[in-house]
Structure 1
Amino acid sequence: MADTAAALGEFDFAGDDHVVPFQVEGLDVRGRAVQLGAILDAILGRHDYPLPVARLLAETVVLTVLIGTSLKFEGKFTVQTKSDGPVDLLVVDFSTPEDVRAYARFDEEAVADAIEAGRTAPQQLLGSGVLAFTIDQGRFSQPYQGIVALDGASLEEIAGTYFRQSEQIPTRVRLGVAELFDRDPDGKPRHRWRAGGVLAQFLPEAPDRMRQPDLHGGDGDDGAHSHAEDDAWMEARSLIETIDADELTDPQVGTERLLYRLFHERGVRVYKPQAVYDRCSCSRDKIKGVLQGFTADEIAHSVEDDAISVTCEFCSTTYRYDVAEIESA
Structure 2
Amino acid sequence: MEEIPFGPGSIDPAGDDAVLPFEVNGLDVRGRAIQMGPALSALLARHDYPLPVSKLLGEAVVLAVLLGSSLKFEGQFLLQTQTDGPVDMLVVDYRTSGDIRAYARFNKERVAEMDVDGLSKPELLLGKGILAMTIDQGEFTSRYQGIVQLDGVSLEEVAHLYFSQSEQIPTLVRLAVAEMMTREDGGAAHSWRAGGLLVQYLPEASIGVQRDLPGGDAPEGMEHHAEEEDAWAEATSLVSTVEDHELIDPDVPAERLLYRLFHERGVRVYDSMAVREQCSCSRDRIQGVLGSFSAEEITASIEDGEISVTCEFCGQKYSFDPQEFLG
| TM-score, length of structure 2 as denominator length | 0.91
Report the alpha carbon displacement of residue 183 of structure 1 after superposing the two structures with TM: 2.1
- Partner of residue 317, structure 2: 318
Q: Is the 8 A contact 2:5 2:267 kept in 1?
A: no
Which amino acid in the other structure matches residue 133 of structure 2? Answer: F
- Partner of residue 275, structure 1: 274
- Partner of residue 135, structure 1: 135
Work out whether 1:155 is the aligned partner of 2:155.
yes
Q: 1:288 and 1:92, CA in 2 relative to 1: closer, same or farther beyond 3 A?
A: same
CA deviations over 1:162-217 (Å, ceiling 9, x no partner): 11222211000000011111023x3431111000000000111222xx21779xxx
- Partner of residue 211, structure 1: 208
| Runs of 4+ with >4 A deviation | none
Q: Is the 8 A contact 1:175 1:195 kept in 2?
A: yes
Q: Is the 8 A contact 1:62 1:175 kept in 2?
A: yes
Q: 1:285 and 1:126, CA in 2 relative to 1: closer, same or farther beyond 3 A?
A: same
CA deviations over 1:237-289 (Å, ceiling 9, x no partner): 01111110111111111111111111111111111111011111111111111
SS at match of 1:33: strand
Q: Is the 8 A contact 1:170 1:212 kept in 2?
A: no
Which amino acid in the other structure matches residue 98 of structure 2? Answer: E
Which amino acid in the other structure matches residue 279 of structure 1? Answer: Q
- Partner of residue 13, structure 2: 13
Alignment of 1:107-118 (within 5 A): 107-114=107-114, 116=115, 118=117
Work out whether 1:94 is the aligned partner of 2:94.
yes
- Partner of residue 221, structure 2: none
Report the alpha carbon displacement of residue 125 of structure 1 after superposing the two structures with TM: 0.7
Alignment of 1:34-53 (within 5 A): 34-53=34-53
Aligned length: 311
Q: Is the 8 A contact 1:5 1:270 kept in 2?
A: yes
Report the alpha carbon displacement of residue 97 of structure 1 after superposing the two structures with TM: 2.8
Give aligned-pair identity as a percent: 60
Which amino acid in the other structure matches residue 194 of structure 2? Answer: A
Alignment of 1:71-90 (within 5 A): 71-90=71-90
CA deviations over 1:131-166 (Å, ceiling 9, x no partner): 111111112111111111102222111111111222
- Partner of residue 124, structure 1: 124
- Partner of residue 172, structure 2: 172
SS at match of 1:230: helix
Q: 1: CA distance between counterparts of 2:27 and 2:265?
A: 7
Alignment of 1:242-321 (within 5 A): 242-321=241-320
Report the alpha carbon displacement of residue 326 of structure 1 after superposing the two structures with TM: 2.7
Report the alpha carbon displacement of residue 22 of structure 1 after superposing the two structures with TM: 0.8
Q: Is the 8 A contact 1:90 1:105 kept in 2?
A: yes
CA deviations over 1:100-153 (Å, ceiling 9, x no partner): 110000111111112x46412111111110111111111211111111110222
Which amino acid in the other structure matches residue 191 of structure 2? Answer: R
Q: Is the 8 A contact 2:295 2:325 kept in 1?
A: no
SS at match of 1:198: strand
Which amino acid in the other structure matches residue 77 of structure 2? Answer: F
Report the alpha carbon displacement of residue 3 of structure 1 after superposing the two structures with TM: 3.9
Work out whether 1:234 is the aligned partner of 2:233.
yes
Q: 1:14 and 1:286, CA in 2 relative to 1: closer, same or farther beyond 3 A?
A: same
Q: 1: CA distance between counterparts of 2:26 and 2:246?
A: 23
| TM-score, length of structure 1 as denominator length | 0.90
Q: 2: CA distance between counterparts of 1:296 and 1:118?
A: 51
Q: 2: CA distance between counterparts of 1:264 and 1:3?
A: 19
Q: 1:97 and 1:213, CA in 2 relative to 1: closer, same or farther beyond 3 A?
A: farther
Report the alpha carbon displacement of residue 4 of structure 1 after superposing the two structures with TM: 2.6
Report the alpha carbon displacement of residue 66 of structure 1 after superposing the two structures with TM: 0.6
Q: 1: CA distance between counterparts of 2:102 and 2:116?
A: 27
Q: 1: CA distance between counterparts of 2:161 and 2:210?
A: 13
- Partner of residue 28, structure 1: 28
- Partner of residue 188, structure 1: 187
Q: 1:271 and 1:213, CA in 2 relative to 1: closer, same or farther beyond 3 A?
A: farther
Report the alpha carbon displacement of residue 11 of structure 1 after superposing the two structures with TM: 2.6
CA deviations over 1:46-99 (Å, ceiling 9, x no partner): 000011110000000000001111101111111111111111000001111311
